[in-house]
């Protein structure tokens, strides 16, 4: 039976399910649809760090995620080949710096929270077209799993959380800006019997390797190459993947002693862009509104943040607290303000720009000082904002009293101390 909703959200993964949950918790009538069946995987990554774990805790979902068997990541090993730093015990207020849940576990946890909050959920529902009244989006049509019957739904606002290729964004011709074409290609898989306590990042010769523990006792390993190498890598993924892993011998030894548990998956269409995320009767959230190369692994935590920003705009707009149009402009402003510095940093990383001498010397300055290293990682992950100076051995520029924050800011512009 058709009914009018306050909001329809298309796409029920980290951006869409979070948005639907927040809107439903605010008392709005919400329909959440996705063409996939749930729970299910999607060939995307899933390491959540920075502000992501804190949001899950605030939303009351961190314990539910842990209950799926997702282990916390409490160590962060950063290995550039020349310098290796390992942050340990990276836990603050009971929240680890990172978690790597499989997407089936994460997305389903979020969808269930949306349903618990009162949202109607329709999996295996493919949106085929959007419905307009003049230039205003007023709903959509789509087919359910039988593929036969066309259903129509109407809402005050229709939200595209339908990923980087967003059909809604194309339909409304959402403007794109700061566009940079695909820089890297990624392949990944999962291994059993490979011990790991947290995130490991290895950067070597225009390759970057990320490894982290995930559900079912598996370790996830992601490798990126410059996009120009895509066809070579794709011609023999296993050989190129293992050749990249062999650049980090200690990881390679552990991986070779384990067993690959799943097939390789990959992604090679990864353009960088921001899109105008709102207009008459529509809004975009998650990758649909801003897509970044996965280098810094920001997609999931940023989707959570933008879900909150959009939910505020929609709630205020539909309750009459302020016009929806101005709320959506404010959403865009706040999203861009939050994302722009890291968007630029991420582009530098994804271009495999080499570290400067200053950057390298700053990294060397932490070697051998475990306490400073731990505090550095916690500050760079946004877990602490400590103003006390930290001693950095052998690094003249940083030996003068300076705050961890300012070092963090300096390093944010530097080599890959952040995923
Ligand atoms: C290789 C790779 C590694 C990554 N690694 C990380 C990482 O470690 N950490 C991190 O934070 N981010 C990572 N990312 C980015 C992250 O995966 C994305 O930012 C995130 O998935 C975006 O979520 P989303 O909800 O916006 O969109 P998506 O996850 O793309 O979900 C979109 C949903 O919309 C549905 N949909 C689309 N069209 C329709 C339609 N017409 N009708 C109905 N439903 C529709 C789809 O079925 C899908 O379920 C990685 C990405 C890639 C490709």
247-286 per-position pLDDT tens digit: 999 999 999 999 999 999 999 999 999 999 999 999 999 9
Distance between Cα 185 and ligand 1 center (Å): 16
Chain centre to alpha carbon of residue 345 = 15
Task: Report the alpha-carbon distance of residue 327 to residue 183 in Å, rounded.
Answer: 33
pLDDT at position 337 over 70: yes
What is the distance in A from the centroid of ligand 1 to the CA of 162?
8
User: In terms of domains, do 344 and 366 share one?
Assistant: no
- Mean pLDDT score, 38-51: 96
Q: Which two tokens stand for residue 257?
A: 């002693």
CATH number of the domain at 38, please: 3.50.50.60
Same domain, 314 and 167: yes
Whether 329 lines ligand 1, by a CB cut-off of 6 Å, is no
Identify whether residues 150 and 195 lie together within a single domain.
Answer: no
- Decide which of 217, 250, 267 is a domain's last residue: 267
Question: Comparing C-alpha atoms, which of 10, 32, 14 is closest to residue 115?
Answer: 32
The predicted pLDDT at position 3 comes to 57
Domain match, 111 and 257 both: no
Backbone angles phi, psi at 246, to 5 degrees: -65, -15
Q: Is the pLDDT of residue 71 over 90?
A: yes
105-155, pLDDT tens digit by residue?
999 999 999 999 999 999 999 999 999 999 999 999 999 977 678 899 999
Answer whether 11 contacts ligand 1 (Cβ < 6 A): yes
Domain's final residue, options 267, 299, 318? 267
- Ligand 1 atom with minimal separation from the 299 CA: 19
* Residue that finishes a domain, picked among 242, 267, 292: 267
Question: Do 193 and 257 belong together in one domain?
Answer: yes
CA distances for 78 relative to 81, 227, 303, 360, 364, angstroms: 9, 23, 25, 13, 12
**Is 199 in the same domain as 226?**
yes
Question: What is the Å distance from ligand 1's center to 15 Cα?
Answer: 8
Q: Considering the domain boundaries, does residue 77 fall inside one?
A: no
Structure tokens at 384: 């602490």
Instruction: Identify whether residues 389 and 287 lie together within a single domain.
Output: no
Is 80 exceeded by the pLDDT of residue 400?
A: no
CA of 43 to the centre of ligand 1 (A): 8
Mutate to test the pocket of ligand 1, among 102, 162, 296 (most ligand atoms within 8 A of CB): 162
Q: What is the pLDDT of residues 12-28, one digit of tens each?
A: 999 999 999 999 999 99
Output the pLDDT for position 154. Answer: 98
Per-residue pLDDT band for 36 (boundaries 50, 70, 90) equals: very high
Q: Considering the chain, what percentage of its residues have pLDDT values greater than 90?
A: 85
Whether residue 47 has pLDDT greater than 60? yes
Q: Would 63 be classed as within a structural domain?
A: no
CA of 64 to the centre of ligand 1 (A): 21
pLDDT above 80 (res 210): yes
Q: What is the mean pLDDT of residues 180-192?
A: 98
CB atoms within 10 A of CB 213: 22
Q: Is the pLDDT of residue 317 over 70?
A: yes
Are 163 and 248 within one domain? Answer: no
CA distances from 135 to 65, 130, 139, 152 (A): 41, 11, 12, 18
Provide the b/e sequence for 128-157 (b: ≥16 CB within 10 Å): eebbeeeeebbbbebbbeeeeeeeebbbbb
Closest CA to 268 of 158, 345, 188, 183: 183
pLDDT of residue 415 exceeding 90, the answer is no
Report the range of poorest mean pLDDT among 215-224, 317-326, 337-346, 400-409: 400-409
153: helix, coil or strand? Answer: strand
Tell me the residue range of the domain where 279 lies: 4-46+102-180+271-349
Ligand 1 centroid distance, CA of 13 (Å): 7
pLDDT at position 357: 81
Domain count, the chain: 3
Asked if residue 276 and residue 156 are part of one domain, the reply reads: yes
Least confident of 22-26, 76-80, 292-296, 399-403: 399-403
How far apart CA 20 and CA 35 sit, in angstroms, is 16
Q: Which two tokens stand for residue 316?
A: 């205020």
With a 6 A CB cut-off, is 15 part of the ligand 1 pocket?
Answer: yes
Instruction: Please work out whether the CB of residue 277 comes within 6 Å of at least one atom of ligand 1.
Output: no
Band of the pLDDT at 390, cuts 50, 70, 90? very low
Q: Note the pLDDT of residue 418.
A: 33
Which CATH number covers residue 243? 3.30.9.100
Q: Is the peptide bond before 77 cis (omega within 30 degrees of 0)?
A: no
Looking at the fold, whether 211 and 262 belong to one and the same domain comes out as yes
Q: What would the two tokens of residue 246 be?
A: 């062999």
Ligand 1 touching residue 375 (CB < 6 A): no
In this predicted structure, the answer to whether residue 391 has a pLDDT above a threshold of 50 is no
**Do 250 and 218 have their domain in common?**
yes
Q: Would you say 313 and 331 are in contact if contact means Cβ atoms under 8 Å apart?
A: yes
66 in any annotated domain = no
């Amino acid at each position: 039976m058709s009914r009018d909703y306050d909001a329809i959200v298309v796409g029920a993964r980290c951006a869409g399910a979070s948005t639907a949950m927040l809107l439903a918790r605010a008392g709005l009538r919400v329909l959440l649809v996705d063409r996939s069946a749930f729970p299910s995987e999607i060939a995307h990554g899933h390491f959540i760090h920075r502000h992501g774990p804190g949001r899950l805790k605030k939303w009351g979902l961190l314990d539910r995620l842990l209950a799926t068997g997702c282990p916390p990541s409490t160590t962060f090993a950063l290995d550039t080949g020349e310098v290796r730093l390992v942050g340990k015990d990276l836990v603050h207020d009971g929240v680890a710096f990172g978690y790597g849940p499989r997407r089936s576990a994460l997305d389903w946890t979020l969808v269930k929270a949306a349903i618990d909050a009162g949202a109607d959920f329709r999996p295996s529902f493919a949106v085929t077209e959007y419905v307009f009244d003049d230039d205003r989006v007023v709903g959509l049509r789509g087919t359910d799993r039988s593929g036969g019957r066309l259903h129509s739904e109407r809402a005050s606002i229709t939200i595209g959380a339908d990923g980087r290729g967003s059909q809604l964004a194309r339909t409304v011709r959402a403007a794109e800006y700061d566009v940079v074409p695909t820089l890297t290609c990624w392949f990944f898989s999962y291994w059993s019997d490979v011990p790991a306590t947290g995130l490991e990042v290895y950067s070597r010769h225009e390759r970057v390797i990320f490894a982290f523990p995930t559900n079912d006792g598996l370790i996830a390993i992601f490798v990126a190459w410059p996009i120009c190498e895509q066809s070579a890598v794709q011609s023999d993924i296993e050989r190129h993947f293992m050749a990249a892993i062999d650049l980090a011998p200690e990881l390679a030894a552990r991986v070779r002693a384990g067993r690959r548990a799943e097939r390789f998956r990959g992604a090679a269409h990864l353009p960088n862009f921001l899109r105008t995320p709102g207009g008459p009767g529509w809004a975009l959230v998650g990758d649909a509104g801003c897509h970044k190369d996965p280098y810094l692994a920001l997609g999931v935590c940023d989707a959570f943040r933008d879900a909150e920003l959009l939910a505020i705009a929609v709630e205020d707009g539909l309750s009459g607290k302020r016009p929806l149009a101005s709320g959506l402009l404010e959403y865009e402003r706040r999203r861009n303000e939050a994302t722009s510095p890291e968007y630029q940093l991420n582009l530098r990383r994804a271009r495999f720009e080499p570290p400067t001498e200053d950057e390298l010397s700053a990294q060397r300055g932490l070697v051998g000082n475990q306490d400073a290293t731990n505090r550095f990682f916690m500050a760079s992950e946004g877990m602490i904002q400590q103003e006390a100076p930290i001693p950095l051995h052998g690094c003249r520029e940083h030996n003068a009293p300076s705050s961890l924050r300012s070092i963090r800011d300096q390093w944010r512009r530097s080599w890959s101390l952040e995923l």
